[in-house]
Copies of this chain bind each other. A is one copy, B any other.
Amino acid sequence: MIKVSVMYPQQAGARFDHAYYRDSHMPMVKQRLGSACSHYTVDRGLAGASPGSAPAFVAACHLFCDSIEAFQAGFGPHAQEIMADVANYTHIAPVLQISEVVVG
């Protein structure tokens, strides 16, 4: 199992519409990916290591897929539509990472 993480770095003053991300963008992504994505999770950053400090990432999602190839096959045909929707909730450029799920 692999995990595609899309993480939005905290930026002072930058907009991030958490409700749109949760209620509209992510369900759309899951619908387009179909069976290529078994499930996904969504995080909202609260704090860093010190109380009251800003989190490194204001929000993130994690898409769980059987393999990188399965993700690419599912995402590719819908990449343009999915990317075009990002501006509806943020202009922060995300960090994308693919990980092996060692303990799930």
User: Bound complex: CA of A60 vs CA of B103, how far in Å?
Assistant: 10
Whether A70 sits at the interface, judged by CB under 8 Å, is: no
Interface size on A, residues (CB 8 A): 33
Q: How many copies make up the complex? A: 2
6 tightest CB-CB pairs across the interface, nearest first?
Answer: A43-B99, A42-B103, A49-B96, A42-B102, A44-B100, A55-B97
Interface residues of A (CB under 8 A from B): 2-3, 5, 7, 18, 22, 26, 40-49, 55-57, 60-61, 68, 95-104
11 examples of A-B residue contacts, CB within 8 angstroms: A40-B103, A41-B103, A42-B102, A44-B99, A44-B102, A47-B68, A47-B97, A48-B96, A48-B98, A55-B99, A61-B103
